[in-house]
Structure 1
Amino acid sequence: MPRTLMRVVIPAVIGVIVLSVVLVSSVKIVEAGHRGVLVQFGAVDTTKSLPEGIHFVTPFRDNVIPMEVRTQITTENVASASKDLQDVTTQVALNYHISPNSAQIVYQQLGFDYSNRVINPAIQESVKQVTARFNAEELITQRETVKTEIEAQIKQRLAAYNVVVETISITEFSFSEQFVRAVEAKVEAEQRALQAQNDLVRIQIEAEQAEATAIGQQHANIARAEGQRQANILEAQGEAEAIRIIDEQLRNNPNYLEWLKTQKWDGKLPLVLGEGGTPFIQIPTEEEEP
């Protein structure tokens, strides 16, 4: 290759390489779910953060540090004490993300290890403060209230560090074996007392039902006796009335005397012979009637 051509080609190649390096250095890509922190000669630009996409920066001066702003989760086990000095172990699951518009501040103040620096300590301190205000039994019976207070404490602490709390879950409250046995014994005693109370109410109801049944049976017997008595009276009155009516009708009947004669007859035919020897029946006259 001629020397003159080499003098032209070599600088051109070098220029292309330098230009390529400059272009590569000036183009920065911020991936999805991240914000770019602009660092100029080691100093963080706290005025802004770069959104997702392609960005052109000053080569050899500006550097872009990616900070994840997607939802993250951390789980922390906290050992604390309740108001009545019972040992409590609480497991807290926290969903959070750093504020996208403050990613540069988080990087400047805390770096990438902000979870261990501020989030976990905030969970520990908040849980200990809240559980200390409740008895062990209240931690179980007022679980939602305890969760709300813990969440408020953590949100307040982390807001100062531009960390946004999304949700908090208290996945478990664990107590000492001695306390668990005491709670179980108390529950069993309450159940036995409730069962005894229910039995007493049942016995009382059954006694009242038996009494009501006996009273009802007694009233029924009285009603039946009274009904029978009234029926007998009505029957007697009916018979007497019937006799009276029959007697009255017979007395007004011209055949009444003949009927009386038949009532006096004992069924035997008296035999009386007259002069001609003809038998006849002697009928008593009215004077002979009793």
Structure 2
Amino acid sequence: MKYKKYVISGVIVAAALILGLASVTTVPSGYRGVLLQLGAVKPTIFDEGINFKIPFLQTVQPMEVRVQKEESSQTAASKDLQIVTTNVAVNYSLEPGSVNKLYQQIGMDYRSRIVEPAIAEALKAITAKYTAEELISKRPEVSNEVKNMLTTKLSKYYMKLEDINIKEFAFSEEFNKAIESKQTAEQNALKAKRDLERVKIEAQQQITQASAEAEALRLKKQEVTPELIQLKQIEVQQKAVEKWDGHLPSVTGGATPFIDFSTLEKKK
């Protein structure tokens, strides 16, 4: 009898211990616990940490509420019917206070059932509104429209869009060649325009210089007066006198011969 009491006591303690352990559950950091009672979703949501439940009747399904990342690559047609492959990274999170509804309506495969299709639909819808060149030149605007559409779609299923990053727009090889040719043509046109402007400037500079020279010549002509001419003649005569050595020329350029008096004096 004595050992029987010990056995019974041991069984009771073990059962109590098992029940105690079974009634305690721990929700990891960054998660919320969806309480299930015999498979049915209960309104109670467990926060991270230690929580209590009814042993064997209730279970807890942890659901991550931290920011999650989904990368996707979608091919669609632009407004001008160019094939565009868009690589995008989407950050989203589950609404902590509604994880039980999400689990009840969607389940744990919400990523493949909701997130991925929503990204594909948003990208294709927005891509079709812009031409291929506009997707590049208006990238912030395109990203904002995709973000707004995704925000609306995910919010219907108790998810919050945190951010979106369009990593790349990839086009067909033919389109890339067309863009390259267009850029080359634009660069050549810009160079030709600059050359033309340079030629015009140089021509204008030559015209200005010629006008200045003509004006200077005109002013010089206005300065030439009879008095100035007479003064110049006097200056020339003075210089000639200064250079004369006192001897008269023996030959003149006229018809009358010039007599050399020095020769006559020697004859006498």
Distance 2:206 2:88 in 1: 58
How many angstroms does 1:224 deviate by?
4.5
Return closer, same or farther for 1:48/1:221 CA change in 2, 3 Å cut-off: farther
Return closer, same or farther for 1:23/1:231 CA change in 2, 3 Å cut-off: farther
Q: Secondary structure at the match of 1:111?
A: coil
Q: Deviations over 1:9-53 (max 9, x none)?
A: 0011101110111110111111110001101111011x2311112
Distance 2:17 2:224 in 1: 126
How large is the RMSD of aligned CA atoms in angstroms? 2.0
- Partner AA of 2:164 in structure 1: I
**Larger deviation: 212-221 or 109-118?**
212-221
2:147 corresponds to which residue? 151
How many angstroms does 1:109 deviate by?
1.7
Q: Which one of 32, 36, 41 corresponds to residue 39 of structure 1?
A: 36
Residue pair 1:48, 1:101 contacting (<8 A) in 2 also: no
1:90 corresponds to which residue? 86
1:68 corresponds to which residue? 64
1:176 corresponds to which residue? 172
Distance 2:54 2:227 in 1: 123
Q: Deviations over 1:87-111 (max 9, x none)?
A: 1100110001010101111111222
Q: Which one of 104, 109, 134 corresponds to residue 100 of structure 2?
A: 104
- Partner AA of 1:98 in structure 2: L
The aligned length equals: 232
List alignment gaps of at least 5 residues for structure 2.
233-268
Residue pair 1:80, 1:87 contacting (<8 A) in 2 also: yes
How many angstroms does 1:83 deviate by?
1.3
**1:20 matches 2:49:** no
Distance 1:227 1:167 in 2: 83
How many angstroms does 1:213 deviate by?
1.5
Return closer, same or farther for 1:101/1:208 CA change in 2, 3 Å cut-off: same
2:255 corresponds to which residue? none
- Partner AA of 1:107 in structure 2: Y
1:284 corresponds to which residue? none
Return closer, same or farther for 1:23/1:30 CA change in 2, 3 Å cut-off: same
How many angstroms does 1:231 deviate by?
9.3
Distance 1:93 1:69 in 2: 18
Q: Which one of 7, 10, 32 corresponds to residue 10 of structure 1?
A: 7
Distance 2:88 2:125 in 1: 14
Distance 1:230 1:127 in 2: 92
Q: Secondary structure at the match of 2:71?
A: strand
Name which one, 1 or 2, has greater alpha-carbon Rg: 1
How many angstroms does 1:73 deviate by?
0.4
How many angstroms does 1:223 deviate by?
3.5
Q: Secondary structure at the match of 2:124?
A: helix
- Partner AA of 2:76 in structure 1: S
Distance 1:215 1:85 in 2: 59
- Partner AA of 1:195 in structure 2: K
Return closer, same or farther for 1:32/1:230 CA change in 2, 3 Å cut-off: farther
- Partner AA of 1:23 in structure 2: G
Return closer, same or farther for 1:230/1:8 CA change in 2, 3 Å cut-off: farther
Distance 2:226 2:192 in 1: 50
Distance 1:14 1:226 in 2: 136
Q: Secondary structure at the match of 1:49?
A: strand
2:201 corresponds to which residue? 205
Distance 2:31 2:216 in 1: 90
TM-score, normalised to structure 1, is 0.75
Q: Secondary structure at the match of 1:32?
A: coil
